Amino acid sequence: MTTKFMNFLAMSWFISVLICLVIEGSYFGPTDNRISNDLSLMTTINIGSLVPIPDPNIYFFRGVFRLLTWDYSFYEGGFEIARYFWMAILTPGAVWGIGSVFAPVFANFLRLFR
């Protein structure tokens, strides 16, 4: 996946947020914030509300799945057709890009156990 394609996906995501804010009139909700939290690789755990300790995020692939299926709260109702349009146009390219990055990693992982 090239950086230009990642920038294009990020731009389309921000345009989707603008659609939410301007056209629909709603705001960035907790379900959309959950997607961005799932996409982070590390989270923190606070012990006694004093010391934050880094913790690996186990929900990363759930966030990638929700990102690739364009599961945002502002694509409900009348904007559902826009969700399926983005899913039909951009998701195959994103899956191809992610697969082309992770395929050599998976092949090297399998070669270690041979």
pLDDT of 40-82, one tens digit each?
A: 777 777 777 788 888 887 887 887 787 788 777 767 777 788 8
DSSP letter (8 states) at residue 46 = E
- pTM reported for the whole predicted model: 0.57
34 beta partners? none
> Residue 5 above 60 pLDDT?
yes
Instruction: Please give the pLDDT value at position 108.
Output: 92
pLDDT of residue 32: 59
Question: Which residues of 1-114 form beta strands (DSSP E)?
Answer: 42-47, 51-56
Q: pLDDT at residue 37 above 80?
A: no
Task: Report pLDDT for 100.
Answer: 84
Q: Which of 94, 89, 92 is nearest to 5 (CA)?
A: 94
3-class DSSP state of 26: coil
- Model confidence at 111: pLDDT above 80: yes
Q: Which of 6-10, 39-43, 104-108 has the highest mean pLDDT?
A: 104-108
